[in-house]
Amino acid sequence: QVTLWLKKIYKDVPVPEYEVNERTVDILHEVMECSEERDRDVMLLIEDMKDRTTKYEAEAEYWQGILGESLGLFEGSLSQEATTDLTDLVDSAMELEVEDTSLTSFYSAINYMTSELYETKSKNEEMELKLKTLTKKLTTALMLEKKLEEDIKKIEESQEAEKAKVKIQANNLKFLEDKSKDLKIRINDAEVELVARGLDQSLMHEALVKSSE
């Protein structure tokens, strides 16, 4: 079935090569069924349109006969002005989708369209009001977002400055600690050297502090 359908689709053109397996055949079969169903729908639609055309032509011939026999209105018998007016009347009736060309039908259709126009205008005004409100809210939100971004930027800059300050202080503290350790070592070395040279222990700093206490 699939092979015959493909040959029918491509006619004189060779069918493109494809991998024949269960999955590809199932997919092509499904496509074939959809295509055939669509073709059937199109044919039914064409037949329906042909039937309608035949009915419209028959109805047109009937009314043409009525107009010709009863009123003597044949094609070409009207003046150019009358033909133009009649054409405008028909176009208006088709545009307004009225059942006939009576004044009642025209007035009803016009009133309905006018009512739709006012309703549409009312909806448009409502939408414009909503749009203005949303635009105002959006503008406010964007301004707030911009201010928040500026505040965040300021905070980040302030934090960076604070980090730099803390880093400097930490470096200073480390320098002082290292300097203090160095001085203690140097003092200790000096005291050891003085003791080695025979300096009285009672004159050492710690002994003097204890003596003072």
Residue of higher predicted confidence among 96 and 53: 53
Q: Residue 73: is its pLDDT beyond 70?
A: no
Residues 76-89, mean pLDDT to the nearest whole number: 77
pLDDT digit string, tens, across residues 197-211 = 766 666 666 777 788
Give the separation between CA 61 and CA 56, rounded to whole angstroms.
Answer: 8
pLDDT for 48: 92
What are the domain boundaries of the chain? 1-74, 169-211
Compute the CA torsion angle 139, 141, 144, 150 (nearest 10 deg).
-90
pLDDT digit string, tens, across residues 1-49 = 888 888 888 888 888 888 888 888 888 889 989 988 988 999 999 999 9
Residue of higher predicted confidence among 85 and 173: 173
Report pTM.
0.34
pLDDT digit string, tens, across residues 114-166 = 888 888 998 899 899 998 988 888 888 889 888 989 989 988 888 888 888 88
Residue whose C-alpha is closest to residue 28's, from 1, 52, 10, 62: 1
